[in-house]
Amino acid sequence: MDTKPTTSTASILDFLNRFIAALGITAAVSVEESADGPRLNLTGDEAELLVRHRGEPLKALQHVVDMAFSRSLPDDTRVFVDALEYRKGKDIELRHMAKFLAEKAKQTGLDQQLGPLNPYERRLVHMAVAEVPGVTTESIGDAFSKTVLISLRK
Amino acid sequence: MPGVREVVEVMAKALADQPNDVRVTESQHKHMTVIELFVAPGDLGKLIGRQGRTAAALRTLASSAGEREGKQVTLEIREGR
């Protein structure tokens, strides 16, 4: 894992600090460079404002950051914005659930469904289930929210 | 000075191709705080986004900023002169 912040990460960090100041909350931003792109996490009690309403404000902030900065990042990377590791926690839960259902599919031979999930969440599920031998995943349904089907490999 | 107007301004300037043309006003109408965001004509589509997703995100975060001050916020996005 590379921890050297890139110039685009620096401008995202600068934006988040200005956003925090405009909100008038006391919060700090921790930065981590991963292979998938920079991960920025807002810390401090008042960052709780962003995880209210089931994390809707955090999702909105992610969208604004995507729209404003994704062009300045390499094609295969993405910024990940979090607050109080709210999304990280949810991602871990989702991965556990995916693996649990994969084991269940394996033992019972029955298809398991997980969703509806957005593209980011589906990717997490596909990657988690790929670590379980003998099962496959498939996204079903259309448009933005699809369901992931976990089934025994034939 | 922190506030709803400032939050909208910071986000709009980051999104716009012409940040210098971004202007944000705040006014009070009874119990509603009305935020008007003026952007360059060429930036309007960008600030609204596909299916209004960016406008929705801006409204969500403007509301969060309002929550801290006990304000009910509405956000209008307009073409500046």
Residue-range domain boundaries for chain B = 4-79
Kindly identify which residue of chain B lies nearest to residue A52, measuring between CA atoms: B64
- Which of A8, A59, A4, A61 has its CA nearest to residue A32? A4
ipTM: 0.96
User: Residue ranges per domain, chain A?
Assistant: 7-84, 90-152
Compute the Cα dihedral for A137, A138, A140, A146 and give only its sign: positive
Backbone angles phi, psi at A44, to 5 degrees: 110, 145
pTM > 0.90: no
Give, in words, the CATH class of B4-79: alpha beta
Q: Which residues of A touch B2 (CB under 8 A)?
A: 21-24
Interface membership of B60 toward A (CB under 8 Å) = yes
Q: How far apart are CA A124 and CA B54, in angstroms?
A: 24
Q: Are A98 and A106 in contact (CB under 8 A)?
A: no
Indicate the CATH number for domain A90-152.
3.30.1370.50
Over the stretch B1-18, which tens digit does the pLDDT of each residue have?
799 999 999 999 999 999
Which of A45, A67, A79, A144 is most worth mutating to test chain B (most B CB atoms within 10 A of its CB)?
A67
Domain A7-84: CATH superfamily is: K homology (KH) domain (3.30.300.20)
Q: What is the mean pLDDT of each run of 10 residues along chain A (154 residues)?
A: 64 96 96 90 96 95 95 86 95 96 95 91 95 94 85 86
